[in-house]
Structure 1
Amino acid sequence: MSPHAPHTPPTPVALVTGANRGIGREVARQLAGLGHHVLLGSRDPRKGEQAAAAIDPGGERVRAVRLDVSDAASVTAMAERIARETGRVDVVVNNAAILYDSWARARAADLAEVQQALDTNLFGAWRVTQALLPLLERSPHPRVVNVSSEAGSLASMSGGTPAYSVSKAALNALTRLLAGELRAQRVLVNAVCPGWTDTDMGGGGRPVAEGAAGVVWAATLPDDGPTGGFFRDGKPVPW
């Protein structure tokens, strides 16, 4: 190569958790379309492979990665595999979430259910981010997006869905903490509410592609973009 040949920037690497369906799969599809190499995290390897093949039949842009965010050993194995195969991560989208407990009320909630929701929705994102932080710090443009929900907004919270709401409020708090701590490392960390979308969990609402677009916006922010914010469709949501 000529010493004066233009330097081609490396293909950005993105991990999306809980990506075999819904918002996660659509975020993976959109990021792949923008030129990212996407690692599609899925607890069920078969479903992950099917989702990856549906997005990218040739397997050049999207690969499935077995990942159960509630299992520390699974998270460690995922991080070790990415370290071996790519050596860095540019984007982490913490999307995996469970238990939209619309039937429950805080005054009588099953605390075992609440704990289960926290283990995936909060601690899952925390585990994944901690495990991938050394790889994020190797990126020229590191981004972390925590897929949250307006159900976790203290400003609008009034009752119902206690496990889900508390876990998302806690995820928002984690977003603020990580953003403040990682500012010096240029890691932009934001929470995004995709809005009410027509997923298996949401059941109705707007097209999944519209909800996913706000997540992709945060995943592809410029270096002078916001950090420590809570957004929907690129606009701030009250905490």
Structure 2
Amino acid sequence: MDQTGAPSTAPAGVTVAPIHVADLAVEGETMPVCVHLIEHPAGRVLVDTGFTELHPAVADMDPRLFPLDLDALGRIDAVVNTHLHFDHVGGDHLFPGIPIHVQTRELHDARTAPDYTIPEWVDPPGIRYVEHDGAHDLLPGVRLLPAPGHTPGSQIVVVDTADGPVVIAGDTAVWFGELDEPTTEGQRLIRSLNPVAVWLSHTHEPWRPTGAEPSAEPSARPRDDPSEGPATPE
């Protein structure tokens, strides 16, 4: 936030790119699972981590995995979990010691509610959760906002660009129609931000408001110099 309380704007050159990490069979259709990489001058942030192995609890969804390639991905300075369902938290173990930002309510529910997620994927060795009770400024122009609906502890990531907010929404909406006609608190929050694009976890392209002109989206790419010192998203 700036001194007026308005959101700060992300620096020029900040990009958001989807990475396809799995497919699930849902009601006879193939549902992609995507995570999202934020490239920012102050750090590289991965939003959700997909999952990296099969588990009997989700065998009926016939998962097809394309796990994150850490060599191609390059350095990650922070991870954000929009929520802790299995297809969002199952790659967290790849980032021991890296701060993983999550809402306190979500972490509590994932650890205590029956049939909520795959418990052993929530607390793998070396995990370092950073808990938030509400909004949090992660980097200049990048903020976390609680977005209840899909789960009570869900959160979204908002990248405030010069053209308007770009939102990484996780499962706050699962398909575009839920943003066209929002019904949950989280969906209504997203629409109230007047975003120029909203990335969802189960679509390859972002939702855009009616009448918006699509623009070329950047692709995920490795860091040019992995030896550069780490940034420190708060």
- Normalising by the smaller structure, the TM-score range is 0.3 to 0.5
- Which is strand-richer, 1 or 2? 2
- Which is helix-richer, 1 or 2? 1
- When normalised by structure 1's length, the TM-score is 0.32
Q: Which structure exhibits the higher relative contact order, with contacts defined as CA atoms closer than 8 Å and separated by 6 or more residues?
A: 2
